[in-house]
């Protein structure tokens, strides 16, 4: 069973990712840490607790993290995720549990040091502010972690590699480019799920997939129907960025192909703010710092998503 710490900014797709992870017996979620991104830290923390309330998993500790990026002002994704961060559906109850007293970065460090070496996987599906603070607080966790699996970046490696925060930048890296730079240079074993694979229409909810989901009467089937329909109508797809990323930890056969390379983060640009750049010149000899996923088994992912999120009676 894989031990996982999830750092997240719920977030509609984060909510679906949390459900997928907690409904999967292949992983043990040691804790959830929250970060500002899709909405403020107050709301992402409240949302994590609300999601656990629905999942009846008040046993999972939640630690509140960074309210803003390392050096920049916060830019949220509320225009897409709604003012409450979960699509303003009114479907999630008020939480009955409270966050733990520790800061997210402190809890991440404590959990990694408290478990045997190379036994904890840190999965980050929001801006990397908490993860950067954790490796700054305790650099040795980078090598102690089994792996850091990140939803972030856009690498130009597939036809789907267009940005969502700018024409070339992905939102999580756009919000806190400095944090992404620190994490990518921490020495950790990093696996990156960029828009190259999460913008793939075959891993997204489409009108056709929506019709299939609407046939179910579960909480998350109804939630997806409510939040995805307007977004599919507006954007043609509702992308499952975070569920695809966490699914790879549940079933590693979902990753079909990846490359290793050196990834740099643009921390000075305007249109290029947070852009993730892969060194691909064959004559340039530079140490790789990440594995970048370029192909996934779409059917295997969709089947897992339907099984662990849509069809689960809570
Ligand atoms: O770019 C997609 C990422 O930004 C996802 O993690 C989504 O939740 C938003 O945070
Ligand atoms: Ca997210």
Q: Which residue has the tokens 């339907």?
A: 306
**11 Cβ inside 6 Å of ligand 1:** yes
**Per-residue confidence (pLDDT) for residue 156, from 0 to 100:** 98
What CATH number should be reported for the domain whose range is 2-310? 3.90.245.10
In the set 118, 199, 241, 268, the catalytic residue is 241
Atom number, ligand 1, closest to the C-alpha of residue 9: 10
Active site residue 81: no
User: And the tokens for 314?
Assistant: 């809570």
User: And the tokens for 42?
Assistant: 């107050």
Long-range contacts formed by 223-226: CB under 8 A, 24+ apart: 223/15, 223/87, 223/89, 223/91, 224/16, 224/309, 224/310, 226/87, 226/89, 226/91
Atom number, ligand 1, closest to the C-alpha of residue 245: 6
When pLDDT is averaged across residues 49-67 and rounded to a whole number, the result is: 98
**239 Cβ inside 6 Å of ligand 1:** no
296 close to 151: Cβ distance less than 8 angstroms: no
Judged by its nearest atom, the ligand closest to the C-alpha of residue 238 is 1
Share of the chain above pLDDT 70, in %: 100
Would you say the pTM of this structure is higher than 0.85?
yes
The CA distance from 252 to 270, in Å, is 36
199 close to 161: Cβ distance less than 8 angstroms: yes
Q: What is the pLDDT of residues 75-111, one digit of tens each?
A: 999 999 999 999 999 999 999 999 999 999 999 999 9
**105 Cβ inside 6 Å of ligand 1:** no
**Per-residue confidence (pLDDT) for residue 306, from 0 to 100:** 98
Domain ranges of the chain: 2-310
Three-class SS of residue 294?
A: strand
**Per-residue confidence (pLDDT) for residue 286, from 0 to 100:** 97
Q: Confidence class of residue 293 from pLDDT cuts 50, 70 and 90?
A: very high
Query: Around Cβ 90, how many Cβ atoms within 10 Å?
Result: 9
**Per-residue confidence (pLDDT) for residue 260, from 0 to 100:** 98
Q: Hey, which of 6, 7, 8, 14 would you mutate to test ligand 1's pocket, going by the most ligand atoms within 8 Å of its Cβ?
A: 14
**297 Cβ inside 6 Å of ligand 1:** no
**39 Cβ inside 6 Å of ligand 1:** no
Question: DSSP assignment, residue 203?
Answer: G
Which residues, 6+ apart, have CB-to-CB distance to 47 below 8 Å? 10, 11, 14, 15, 34, 39, 84, 85, 86, 92
Q: Confidence class of residue 211 from pLDDT cuts 50, 70 and 90?
A: very high
């Amino acid at each position: 069973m894989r031990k996982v710490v999830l750092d997240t900014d719920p977030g509609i797709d984060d909510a679906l990712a949390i459900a997928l992870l907690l409904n999967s017996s292949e992983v043990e979620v040691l804790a959830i840490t929250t970060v500002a991104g899709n909405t403020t830290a107050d709301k992402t923390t409240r949302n994590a607790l609300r999601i656990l309330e629905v999942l009846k998993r008040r046993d999972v500790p939640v630690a509140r993290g960074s309210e803003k990026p390392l050096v920049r002002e916060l830019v949220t994704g509320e225009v897409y995720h709604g003012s409450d961060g979960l699509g303003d559906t009114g479907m999630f109850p008020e939480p009955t549990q409270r966050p733990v007293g520790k800061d997210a970065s402190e809890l991440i460090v404590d959990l990694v040091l408290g478990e045997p070496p190379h036994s904890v996987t840190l999965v980050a599906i929001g801006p990397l502010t908490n993860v950067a603070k954790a490796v700054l607080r305790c650099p040795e966790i980078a090598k102690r972690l089994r792996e850091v699996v990140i939803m972030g970046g856009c690498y130009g490696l597939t036809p789907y590699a267009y940005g969502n925060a700018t024409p070339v930048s992905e939102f999580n890296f756009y919000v806190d480019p400095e944090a992404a730079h620190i994490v990518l240079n921490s020495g950790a074993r990093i696996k990156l799920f960029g828009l190259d694979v999460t913008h793939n229409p075959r891993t997204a909810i489409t009108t056709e997939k929506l019709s299939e989901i609407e046939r179910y009467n579960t909480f998350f089937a109804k939630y997806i129907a409510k939040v995805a329909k307007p977004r599919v109508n507006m954007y043609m797809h509702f992308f499952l960025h975070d569920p695809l990323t966490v699914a790879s930890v549940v079933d590693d056969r979902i990753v079909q192909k990846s490359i290793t390379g050196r990834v740099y983060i643009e921390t000075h640009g305007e249109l290029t703010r947070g852009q993730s750049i892969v060194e691909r010149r064959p004559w340039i000899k530079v140490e790789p710092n990440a594995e970048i996923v370029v192909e996934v088994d779409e059917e295997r992912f969709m089947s897992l998503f339907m099984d662990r999120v849509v069809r689960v009676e809570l």
